[in-house]
Amino acid sequence: MQNKPDKVLIDRIQAGDTAAFEAMVIQYRPRLIASLIKYTKSVELSEDIAQQTFIKVWQKIDTFRGESALFTWIYRIAINLAKNAFNSKSARNDDITDNLENIETLTAVNESPEAFNISLSLKAELDNFLRELPIDLKTAFLLREDEGKSYEQIATIMDCPIGTVRSRIFRARELILEKFDEIN
Amino acid sequence: MDEKKNKFEMLSAYLDGELNEAESAEILEMLQADSELRQKLQKYSSISGLINLHSSDKALASDDIHARIFRKPKYYATGMAATILIALIVVGNNYTFYQANNEIIADAASSREAQNHLNNIDGALNQHVMKILAADNLNVDYLNTNLVPVGYNQDPVKPSYFSNGNNKFRLHIENNNFGLKTDRYWNVNNELVYVRPMKNGRLATIYGKIDPQEAKSFLAYIDRN
């Protein structure tokens, strides 16, 4: 089911608003890549598929009917592209090839060592930090991020106003970002 | 400070799908004009990506993946890559991004200077491509007839036009190479745009009906001579 922010976003993108499209890409790309990694088991392939997916989303946005959440629709497109990639006979595309019609066929991009730059210690610190968040913030945040609960549901679970849930999740995010900045 | 905090909190709720339509519209308007807000959205959504991966497949949650998902939040390569993609897409309805510039994006992830440089390259390059697509006869140097590769004909009336059997395209050579280091090409409405930074520091652009391999060969020949 389409939520209200999705509807506003989609209406704008369908009207040709590229800034809204950019906002959508920024919002959904990390989550899409993370979801694709579970399927492809490859970071590079997932990044490439994500890129191809957003091209396709732009081209096909007028066909989106709002019967599912926007991310669900995007993810379905990505999974189809991933399947094409696995079924395709094309391999790496370091050089220009003649196979240009097959733009939906994913070609793996060379791995970039420069992007592999977070140490084991950072990962451990992030994991520890999540555990060390103040309990109210951690609970609200994980109920939202891990379990996908709505603010209303979280408010019921935590027996607090929705506004408090919103504030706690926001503060949790800010604390996590402060921690990341410290570490980086 | 409260105003900033309020807008970030609103953004956090937007990411969770918890705003009404009017508030969502407001945030989208703000995102358009506010780069700090876009960066914040990038950071928040990166956390979601990380949590999403972290909770589902811990076997794959290695340093590498954290790096890729999170993309060093100070330098928003992911958002910038998205911006590049968008900028290319707006040029035409069927503008297809053929060639990834992952090496440049990866560099940008590790250096603010590289990021600014990339922003400048792609902004200027996008403008250049838009001009190529829009204009029939830009004020650029024409290729000397003696340098035309064998098998190609140069239009005597419009010297920027070349043909070879089924191929027909325009060539533009100009002084500004926008800091490009490698060739790039795109398909726009079933025609090719191919740009090549030349050895003499100039930029050659081909636009028309030609396949990339031929465009590459054509420009490589010119570049040698």
Q: Give the closest of B47, B65, B103 to A173, CB-based.
A: B47
Residue B116: CB atoms within 10 A of its CB come to 12
Which residues of chain A make contact with B89, given a CB cutoff of 8 A? 18, 21, 55, 58
At A38-94, the pLDDT tens digits run 777 777 788 888 888 888 888 888 888 888 889 999 999 998 888 887 776 444 443
Which of A3, A10, A22 is the best residue to mutate to test the B interface, defined by the most B CB atoms within 10 Å of its own CB?
A22
pLDDT value at residue B14: 93
Min Cα–Cα distance to chain B from A159, Å: 18
**Strand ranges for B9-140 from DSSP E:** 95-96
Over range B40-50, report the average pLDDT: 85
Q: Are the Cβ atoms of B57 and A120 closer than 8 angstroms?
A: no
Contact A100 B211 (CB under 8 A): yes
- What integer pLDDT is reported at residue A88 of this predicted model? 65
Residues of chain A with C-beta less than 8 angstroms from the C-beta of B90? 18
Contacts of B132 (CB under 8 A, 6+ apart): B138, B170, B172, B193, B205, B207
Element (H, E) at B162: strand B161-164
| Residue pLDDT, tens place only, B148-179 | 888 888 888 888 889 988 889 989 888 878 77
Among A19-33, A67-81, A90-104, B173-187, the least confident range: A90-104
Interface pTM, i.e. ipTM: 0.75
Strand order in the sheet with B95-96: B95-96, B184-188, B191-197, B203-209, B167-174, B161-164, B153-154
| Residue B128 pLDDT greater than 60, yes or no | yes
